[in-house]
Structure 1
Amino acid sequence: MAEKQYVVFKLGKEEYGIDIMNVREIGPYQESVKVPNTPEFIEGIINFRDKVIPIINLKRRFKLQDTGITNDTRIIIINLNEKQIGFVVDEASQTIRLDDNDIDPTPDIISTVDKRYITGVGKMGDNRLLILIDLERVLSDEEKDEIQNMEIKQ
């Protein structure tokens, strides 16, 4: 029985999980610089540890109501094709371990597009479900190309 560790984060009241092996770092929210002619869900760019990285607002990407920035807002940094990308989430507060037995496949009700990045549903106890996603698959190939081309001259 395999066990994986997940970083739990919130978007609104819903909890999501991502494989901890995909997370480079979780940092506090910082204001980004807007970049013209980018998709609405790209919040902008920030200087993070002397690297300019694009920031994606996951609520906008998932078409959820944007409730603004709070003291709990975090940026989850991942590596995508050797480039770092940040994802804005409402809260990233814990890590959990799930056995394969605690993970159900993606329900059929989920649309084809969402199935691309929803890897399953984790069951934690009787009343708590965790939507497991792969942040590397949240973006389409065209969107990844667009972000790769956002190279800012430093």
Structure 2
Amino acid sequence: MDVSKIVVFRTSDEEYGIPIEHVISIEKLEDINVIPNMPVYMKGVVKVRGELIPVLDTNQIFYHQNITIDNNVKLIVIQSDDISAALIVNEAKEIIDIEENQLKTIPIGAFQSTKYFSGVASIEWRLITLINPTYLIESLENFAIVKEEMMSRP
């Protein structure tokens, strides 16, 4: 039986998970260098381990609302196929094992705007929506321009 590890986080009142192989680190939310005229979901950039990384607001991406900043808010630094990004989340909760029989596919992936939701893990009383970080980043409007700019910097 295949077992996968995921990093579970909360955005708004829902739990989401990202496969651990895509997670570089979990960081405290500190000073974000705001960049004017960026897409509404991009809050700026942060420096993590010497690298400038775009900061993306998951609450804005999923619910079209700005995240409320409090002491629980964290950055989950992820690696997609070709760029790193930091996701602002309400809370980084835990790392858990998910067995293959706990995974359910959901038809919402057929919709272009939510193709980054790869399934739902049903664990006892919890439902955790799984996210493919590469599809998440590729689905963001105007992010190709941001990515090109970030990758062209020395």
TM range (shorter): 0.7 to 0.9
* Matched-pair contact (CA < 8 Å) for 2:75–2:86: yes
SS of the residue aligned with 1:139?
helix
CA offsets, 1:69-125, max 9 Å, x none? 11111101112344321110011120111111001101x356602441011010110
- Number of the residue aligned with 1:33: 33
Q: How much does 1:149 deviate?
A: 2.5
Q: Which aligned pairs between 1:76-87 and structure 2 lie closer than 5 A?
A: 76-87=76-87
- The residue type paired with residue 132 of structure 1 is L
Deviates more, 1:89-98 or 1:46-55: 46-55
Which AA in structure 1 matches 2:89? V
Query: Is residue 2:144 matched to residue 1:145?
Result: yes
Indicate which of 132, 135, 141 corresponds to 1:134.
Answer: 132
Indicate conservation of the 8 Å contact 2:80/2:133, yes or no: no
Question: Sequence identity, in percent?
Answer: 26
What CA distance in whole angstroms lies between the structure 1 residues aligned with 2:145 and 2:108? 30
Post-superposition shift, 1:63?
A: 2.4
> Matched residue of 1:149: which SS?
helix
SS in structure 2 opposite 1:150?
A: helix
Q: For residues 107-118 of structure 1, what are the structure 2 equivalents within 5 Å?
A: 108=107, 112-118=111-117
Q: How does 1:1-154 map to 2 (within 5 A)?
A: 1-106=1-106, 108=107, 112-125=111-124, 127-140=125-138, 143-151=142-150
Distance 1:64 1:26 in 2: 23
Alpha-carbon shift at residue 64 of structure 1 (Å): 4.5
- TM-score calculated relative to the size of structure 2: 0.87
What TM-score do you get using the length of structure 1 for normalisation? 0.87
Q: Secondary structure at the match of 1:72?
A: coil
Aligned length: 152
Residues 2-57 of structure 1 deviation map (CA, whole Å, 9 limit, x = unaligned):
11011000001110111011101111112312212211000101122222111011
The alignment's C-alpha RMSD in Å is 2.1
Q: List alignment gaps of at least 5 residues for structure 1.
A: none
Relative to total residues, which structure has the larger helix share, 1 or 2? 2
SS of 1:60's partner is helix
Deviation at 1:129, TM superposition (A): 0.6
